[in-house]
Amino acid sequence: MRKGKITTNVLDICDMKGDFVYVLTGWEGSTTDSQILRDALAQQNGLQVPKGYPKLRD
């Protein structure tokens, strides 16, 4: 809860054209970015970062 309101984290990834290629929702707002990224990488059919192209931004 933040300022009395429930918050939700969303991990979304876009390609170079700005089209969404991956979306992961459901984590509560207090979850750290690194925990969400680890979960996305660990899921079956989860996030796969192409070699030589990782650009992680917050």
Instruction: Answer whether residue 58 shows pLDDT above 70.
Output: no
Q: Could you tell me if residue 31 is inside a domain?
A: yes
Residue 13 Cα to chain centre, angstroms: 7
Q: How many residues does the chain have?
A: 58
- 26 falls within a domain: yes
Q: Does 2 have pLDDT greater than 80?
A: no
The rounded distance, in Å, linking the Cα atoms of 38 and 45 is: 13
Give the domain extent around 32.
Answer: 8-42
Q: How confident is the model at residue 17 (pLDDT cuts 50, 70, 90)?
A: confident
pLDDT in tens, 18-52: 889 889 998 988 899 889 989 998 988 888 877 77
Q: What is the pTM of this model?
A: 0.67
**Stretch (H or E) spanning 53:** none
Question: Is position 33 within any domain?
Answer: yes
Total domains present in the chain:
1
For residue 48, the model assigns a pLDDT of: 81
